[in-house]
Structure 1
Amino acid sequence: MKKVGLTLLTAFVGGAMALGTYKVFEKKYTDNMSFEERQKVYFTNNPLTVSSAGSVDFTQAAGAVTPAVVYIRTSYTPQSGGRSQMDDFFGDFFGQRMRPQGPQQASGSGVIISPDGYIVTNNHVVEKADKITVNLNDHRSFQAKVIGTDPNTDLALIKITGDNLPIVKLGNSDDVKVGEWVLAVGNPFNLTSTVTAGIVSAKGRNIGIIGSNQGDDDDSNPFQQQPSRPKLNKAIESFIQTDAAINPGNSGGALVNTKGELIGINAAIASHTGSYEGYGFAIPVNLAKKVLNDIKTYGSVKRGFIGVSFTELNNDVAEKLGTNKTTGLYVNELVKGGGAEAAGIRTGDIITKVEGQPVYESSQLQEHVGRMQPGDKINVTVLRDGAEKNFSITLKPEATAPKTAALSKSAEELFNKLGASFQPLTKEQKAKFNVNNGVVVTQVRPGRLFYETDIPVGSIITNINKQPINSVADIDKAITNLRNGNLIITGYYPDGTSFNNMFQVQ
């Protein structure tokens, strides 16, 4: 019996040591994994038990997903000089200017995709945020930081500090079929943990909303389909369209299949009222995987470009261009030194296939390229002089302007936004305000930052972003390099009262 007991004790101790060693190496190993690889480890140890894709019983899928869809609240400093239609209306009506009072707030949704707290949401949910609060389904609350954003896809990756958090399993949006049942999970109208059901209405939708001049919250603004025109391939839209009810506040929430797998991130609606009218749009998860892994690994998206601008063909466009081809992408212009030019693509070619698959919509090419890295190769077929030709294009990184030129332009634009003129302080003025440095505001232009924030003529500016100011050249230098887009102006009003104002600069 003693030998048996000793054997069992030895086995137990050995097993515990092995498990402890495994856990140490597991954490070190998973730190370098992609989100999809991390999830495979997670769901191997925590398998899902849900209904089949063909079932109309959504209870198991909803139960599996809801704990990992979070409510996001943000607060932000209003844009300097920003005026809403309501401000203009009431300001004109009462004969006075309206100004934002204190921090503004907004809300949206997010999806936990890693047990250690990584969350995917929309860029437009967090892009202006000074403070981000994440509330879980179990009422726990966390402060989140932005890891990175990608305005070209309207995606953002944020993180909270936690362990063993519930997650939603990443699915495969390529396998999504038009007509299959889906669930939209989010927090519309501040109604947390709301689940709605519908079907996939269409795939590969390009609705011209990313980068458009619509309002700040895509959910609450109707989109207008843009006319066909030459476009540079930066905004990537290949939405999954669904009739599952999506409303303001659903932004960044989950679109899942009946297995409980994430197939899309809810991003926009088509509406004339700002509320649900039957059409919602989600970013395909296969596109999101690439973007999110890049953000986590590199801090930004490493995106390859073909180097063409094109027009999507239809009957009207074909007639204007004098071609009888009514499908495909007409090449309008080549980027000098770009991948397409190097491969032999010419202006006037019509891209008809990508990787052997016919191209009917611009979104097909955009999404495919959006999943690739600089240096990757893509095979395209073009129609030229009545015959099809195949080309292998090596994607190149986006060309950027020299850093100094970009910063100079930014400083000039920002200086104009200040809307003021300045003169160095005289000895008398320095003595009056008891300062050693500064400039005096000699002119304020209506509609600009100084006007909207009541920094009047006669005010003294002593520091911008903690840098001493003595001249216009000092102002140019101070606003050239902004940290996190923040502009901090310190000084004195004409009556001697001090101020220290912070603005978010876009």
Structure 2
Amino acid sequence: MIKNIRAFIAVVLISALIGALSATFVTTKIIYGERQKPVEPPEKTQTFTVKEAPIPDIAREITPAVVGVVTIYIDYDFFFRRVESQSIGSGIIVDKNGYILTNAHVVEGSNRIMVYLYDGRKFKAKKIYEDGELDLAVIKIDADNLTAARLGDSDKVVVGDRAIAIGNPLGLTLQRTVTAGIISALNRTIAVGTQKSMTLIQDLIQTDASINPGNSGGPLLNGKGEVIGINTVKATEAEAIGFAIPINIAKPIINKIIEKGGFEKPYIGVECIDREMARLFNIDVPVDGGIYIVKVHKDSPAQKAGIRQGDIVLNINGEKLTKVSQMRKVLYTLEPGQKVKIVLMRGNDKITTEVIIGKE
């Protein structure tokens, strides 16, 4: 009985964390990260054949694709006089037609967005997409002669890989600052915001490459100069701990926006955590892999398909799941109205069901 009560309380706490979407990015709390399995030391030094480029070459190639994102906010003072304020972040050009990937918290609530290019030009930008839960946004400028960055595969990143961050720390006076380090950890979960308004961000890449205010929205690169993440936030209680959103989460969003001019977020109506976090809250996950369903939204496609709180999603359309980001990546390739086959574990029973994708 006590164990059931603890599990119920844990589910309520997690659901409250995941459900809060109005983050103010004042504090950062690191909740947990992927546990590294012990590895037997090799008998001799291994030789790796992946060729990495020198950092100066990477910086020369990618810097023209990094932009300054200046957001203007309009308010009124006590005497109803117009007052303008602004904040500065970073972005990365992902398509030569002017599509730029950045953070949602860089552009949210803004009245006007200006983009500053490497060659000194500046353009007014249009917001195409914004998702505070993922902290991702896509904006667009009408400009020619643009340099687009090469996108890598964040699923292939391993701890110890080279990591290079480029952005505008502390504003445009230090624009396109290059810092380097390594991938420190994977699959990090952090809570950002204040105690009254907290957002949970899962499956992040952790790096010791220096990330500071203004770097938000800039690229995290691998040793080949490919974008593997979008820098989002640093730990406020420590140095050399920064986080980036894996680029593979953003790829299907970018592809649909480039192809169709917009993105309708597929929706099935569940909130999930992976098995490591479930165990942190003393929730028993009896299977290897899978993601734990914390909440099923009322009248959602998932509820209509018979999915319940406490079910464990093993795979979607045949793709085995171990992280929430994998589920998003699969769903984001689909369109509202399409059917998706989901395999669940409920207790000791394996269940297969079909869900018709909705939209948010």
Same fold (TM over 0.5): yes
Identity among equivalent positions (%) equals 39
Runs of 5+ consecutive residues of structure 2 not aligned to the other structure: 1-48
SS at match of 1:102: strand
1:111-126 to 2 correspondences below 5 Å: 111-126=92-107
1:303-382 to 2 correspondences below 5 Å: 303-310=265-272, 314-315=278-279, 317-318=281-282, 328-353=290-315, 355=318, 357=320, 359=322, 361-382=323-344
| Matched residue, 1:151 | 132
**Which has the higher Rg, Structure 1 or Structure 2?**
1
Normalising by structure 2, we get a TM-score of 0.71
Say if 1:381 and 1:102 are closer, same or farther in 2 by CA, change over 3 A. Answer: same
Q: Structure 1 segments of 4 or more deviating over 6 A?
A: 97-101, 223-226, 323-327
| Matched residue, 2:357 | 396
| Matched residue, 2:45 | none
Worse overlay, 252-261 or 289-298? 289-298
1:266 is matched by which residue type in structure 2? N
Q: For the residues of structure 2 that align with 1:296 and 1:214, how far apart are their CA atoms?
A: 38
| Matched residue, 2:161 | 180
- CA offsets per residue over residues 287-313 of structure 1, 9 Å max, x none? 212223444555653222333345655
Q: Which has the higher helix share?
A: 1
Q: For the residues of structure 1 that align with 2:113 and 2:321, how far apart are their CA atoms?
A: 43
| Matched residue, 1:70 | 67
Q: For the residues of structure 1 that align with 2:80 and 2:180, how far apart are their CA atoms?
A: 41
Counterpart contact for 1:302–1:397, Cα < 8 Å: no
Say if 1:240 and 1:118 are closer, same or farther in 2 by CA, change over 3 A. Answer: same
Say if 1:308 and 1:254 are closer, same or farther in 2 by CA, change over 3 A. Answer: closer
SS at match of 2:212: coil
Residue 123 (structure 1) shift: 1.8
Say if 1:329 and 1:288 are closer, same or farther in 2 by CA, change over 3 A. Answer: closer
Say if 1:385 and 1:156 are closer, same or farther in 2 by CA, change over 3 A. Answer: closer
Q: Does 1:241 align with 2:200?
A: no
Runs of 5+ consecutive residues of structure 1 not aligned to the other structure: 1-51, 82-96, 216-222, 227-235, 400-506
Counterpart contact for 1:188–1:248, Cα < 8 Å: yes
- CA offsets per residue over residues 190-229 of structure 1, 9 Å max, x none? 21111111122233333233xx5589xxxxxxx9896xxx
Residue 55 (structure 1) shift: 3.2
Say if 1:245 and 1:374 are closer, same or farther in 2 by CA, change over 3 A. Answer: same
Normalising by structure 1, we get a TM-score of 0.53
Counterpart contact for 2:53–2:224, Cα < 8 Å: no
Residue 127 (structure 1) shift: 2.0
The one of 94, 98, 103 aligned to 2:84: 103
Say if 1:264 and 1:333 are closer, same or farther in 2 by CA, change over 3 A. Answer: closer
Q: For the residues of structure 2 that align with 1:291 and 1:131, how far apart are their CA atoms?
A: 23
Residues paired across the two proteins, number: 307
Say if 1:384 and 1:270 are closer, same or farther in 2 by CA, change over 3 A. Answer: same
Q: For the residues of structure 2 that align with 1:150 and 1:367, how far apart are their CA atoms?
A: 15
Q: For the residues of structure 2 that align with 1:145 and 1:343, how far apart are their CA atoms?
A: 38
